[in-house]
Amino acid sequence: MTDAIDARARAVRTSGLVRIVGAGLLGSSIGHALRALGVDVVLADASPAQLRLAVDYGAGRLARDDDRPDLVVVAVPPDVTADVIERELGAFPDAVVTDVASVKLEPLLTLRERGVDLSRYIGSHPMAGRERGGAIAARADIFFGRPWVICRDEETSARDLAVVEGLALDLGASLIEMTPEEHDRSVALVSHVPQLVASLLAGRFVGAEDASLRLAGQGVRDTTRIAASAPELWVQILGANADPVVEVLDALAADLAGVARALRDPDAPGARRAVADTIRRGNEGVERLPGKHGQNRRFETVVVMVDDTPGQLGRLFGDLGELDVNVEDFRLEHSPGAQFGLGEISVVPSAVTVATDGLAARGWKIASLND
């Protein structure tokens, strides 16, 4: 698992000291990734507890008075992003400052209104995240293979641009150049509206019968998975990107009204066709998404039935240890009332046969391999 990062260690572009302000998911993840490349990373966070956690986990070190960062990465919530960018530009007059906020136009307009000299600032946005937040969820690999939007403008020097691009490339991301407006319209469509739609759909379950919800399957679980996201952050993101979000929402509302009308009056001219077209356009749209077949499937999964009694997982992992199989990820699915759980063991592809045959020989019931 460390190979991907180690292999690139010789070509590290980021040099000097990197200061990361905000030790949450993105900030701490950037810290872990840079530390793995041997870069000196200093962390700051308004929350002493979050900062301590991030430092304990190895995402970076505490600040010292003589720190002179070459690059400052602002990874704080959207509503304080402009303030922190302004403060960091002032505090470190030799540093390039970037931010990783999900909305790019509003902080820029705020800073311009205040007359801040933005020649050393370059907005950016790594398209990476997890539904869980905080330093505890940080992972060095969340940027790997993901797009990283960089918003340069005519003020941006080639040297400063190279610093921010180097950070993105060092973390394994691929660069996309966009204007702040293009970025904000794009994330409204592929991130902010999907979040709202998932939340609205899941919101319909609040008043539903228990029995109805028991029928829920993987489809609706996937469709609403991101509805588990944190309200505080999303209120800020949606508020800061309201115009592009509302534009997509309005179009979606019109589409929704159209299909509801067709279902209500199926004998009206074109009604059946309208329903079919909705599903067909959905087919076409989902085909256009990149990587729909899971580009990051570096691991395969072996599923094992595990009795619901103490000691069973110990025996399982003991057996895996004896087989010299390194478990990259493990998840236990446990259905209420069932006498057993399903343990999903992620391993590198070359270990699948060893794990499957070895566990079966030790009496484990292998439930299934990958689809």
- 3 state SS of 333: strand
Q: CB of residue 15 vs its own copies: minimum separation in angstroms?
A: 18
Residue 263 binds its own copies, judged by CB under 8 A: yes
- Distance CA(316)–CA(125), nearest Å, equals 41
Q: 148 - beta bridge partners?
A: 126, 175
Q: Which is nearer to its own copies, 24 or 69 (CB)?
A: 24
Q: Which is nearer to its own copies, 62 or 246 (CB)?
A: 246
The window from 76-84, 116-124, 153-161, 331-339 that contacts its own copies (CB under 8 A) reads 331-339
Task: Determine which residue in the list 114, 155, 181, 321 makes contact with its own copies, applying CB under 8 A.
Answer: 321
Residue 209 binds its own copies, judged by CB under 8 A: yes
Residue 350 binds its own copies, judged by CB under 8 A: no
The window from 60-68, 103-111, 114-122, 123-131 that contacts its own copies (CB under 8 A) reads 123-131
SS3 sequence of 10-79: HHCCCCCEEEEECCCHHHHHHHHHHHHCCCEEEEECCCHHHHHHHHHCCCCECCCCCCCCCEEEECCCHH
Task: Determine which residue in the list 213, 353, 357, 361 makes contact with its own copies, applying CB under 8 A.
Answer: 213
Q: Which is nearer to its own copies, 90 or 266 (CB)?
A: 266
Task: Determine which residue in the list 119, 157, 295, 353 makes contact with its own copies, applying CB under 8 A.
Answer: 295
- Distance CA(100)–CA(122), nearest Å, equals 10
Residues near its own copies (CB under 8 A), total: 162
The window from 14-22, 73-81, 93-101, 134-142 that contacts its own copies (CB under 8 A) reads 134-142
Asked if 345 contacts 303 with a C-beta cutoff of 8 angstroms, the reply is yes
- Distance CA(168)–CA(304), nearest Å, equals 38
Q: Which is nearer to its own copies, 115 or 310 (CB)?
A: 310
Q: What angle do CA 174, 180, 181 make, to 5 degrees?
A: 120
* Residues 327-341: b if buried by 16+ CB within 10 A, e if exposed: beeeeeeeeeeeebb
Asked if 122 contacts 179 with a C-beta cutoff of 8 angstroms, the reply is no
- Distance CA(143)–CA(278), nearest Å, equals 34
Asked if 120 contacts 160 with a C-beta cutoff of 8 angstroms, the reply is yes
Task: Determine which residue in the list 162, 252, 268, 361 makes contact with its own copies, applying CB under 8 A.
Answer: 252
Phi and psi (nearest 5°) for 96?
Answer: -80, 135
Q: Which of residues 74-93 bind its own copies (CB under 8 A)?
A: none
Q: CB of residue 87 vs its own copies: minimum separation in angstroms?
A: 25
Residue 309 binds its own copies, judged by CB under 8 A: yes
The window from 78-86, 108-116, 150-158, 251-259 that contacts its own copies (CB under 8 A) reads 251-259
Q: Which is nearer to its own copies, 64 or 215 (CB)?
A: 215
- Distance CA(118)–CA(112), nearest Å, equals 8
Task: Give me the 35-74 binding string for its own copies, x by CB under 8 A, dash otherwise.
Answer: xx----------------x--xxx----------------
Residue 283 binds its own copies, judged by CB under 8 A: yes
